[in-house]
Structure 1
Amino acid sequence: MEQKLKLLSNNERQRILRFRKWEDRQRSLLANIAVRRRLQILLQEPINPSSIERDQKGRPFLKNFRNWQGDFNLSHSGEWIISGITTNGKIGVDVEQIQSIDLSVSELCFTQEEKAYLYSLPTKDQLSFFYEIWTLKEAFVKTIGQGLLFPINSVGFDMNKWTQNKITISSTTLSFHHFLFQLYRLEPNYIVAVCTNLRHVSDLEIQILDRSDIL
């Protein structure tokens, strides 16, 4: 791991080393390696490890590739590493392990409509719904290139459409309408969310990997 870290840009290396847990450092490094390998295949040219950088809000980008019009995004949790790549447009991905939490945190990140729907559900379904909305919002914030300070309770999902198995941003946030969303389940206790401003989800490439796929 130490040798691979030395190959990264200084900013990316320092970002990884800020993780307190060794496991989180490893997952972040492996996510970097996985997306770089895939980008090399798409671009058909070698990509130096230091070519993956982060902007001021922490969003990864490919440096010094002027002809690259695409986008990529990374997320990791537990044993899972997710990379999303598109050759045009923007993409955000998020994976979360479902763990027991105090659902009152929804006061900080859910709209009134979302909170009402959350507490209308049977108790056994509330935690899963919380993580579905949370991962969708995380993926959305990554897509628009905003950081941790973005008020995620300012953008909500239409719960009427949700009951029809449609993931649509509420009409109260008109400026954010042109986004597509998708949810995946990994095992019973992991949720993956994907967001893009493309018109067709089929234009995306999603890699779902565990550590053994990369090492």
Structure 2
Amino acid sequence: MIMIKSLFARFVIAFCTIAGFTRIYDRIPQAEPVTFYINEYDVSAPQRLYTEHPQNIVLVNSRRDNFKHRALIRHTWGVRADLLLFYVAAQSLEEDEQIATEFRIHQDLIVMHSPDDYRLLTDKLIAGLGAIDHFNLDFERILRTDDDVYVDLPQLWHDATGDYWGHCLTGAILERRSDSKFYTSYENEPEDKIPTIVSGSTITLTHQAFKRLVTYLTKHHTGVWNDDNAVAYAMHRMHI
């Protein structure tokens, strides 16, 4: 099915090129993005979020260049989502034509205007969660996952229980080597041992837990680069 869609897309693009429509997305109705400010960054999101009423939300962390990953999710397990959104870090939509095109066509991107840097993972997560909070969406549960996994959504929603759910890891030790991408300084986090952490590939939150997490991270962002660790500390300190 994916191959068929891909071949069809190539045919349409080729036809439009021959016909003189070299930029097919210009023929798609344009909806101006909503841009607001979250934790020192401008964030752009689709206007349609003002009118969405999902029961559950799927929020996918994605690298800027992972266009194929996002396309596969849209055409496979993501079709079962009430509301599917990807959050990425990229330059402004005026400066990044590829992301701007994807934004216009799919209307499912949340874009934090910044470099796509591992050290900004927690900032990027706050931008994604904060954007959903900005639109005051009323939902039951949200899944935060990555763009390199497959999720059986019906099974997940059936199994997910409690305010904060996922695969738990315990007893992990923070990385203190400054040359590691997992580095966390003693200034940002004095404790060496990570509290019980729910793996970032499948974190689910109830609406109430989501609201508390957004508020906490926005006010108390500790500078921990790894977003899984940042969430683990936040939930631990809120006793969730």
Taking structure 1 as the reference length, the TM-score comes to 0.32
Higher gyration radius (CA): 2
Taking structure 2 as the reference length, the TM-score comes to 0.29
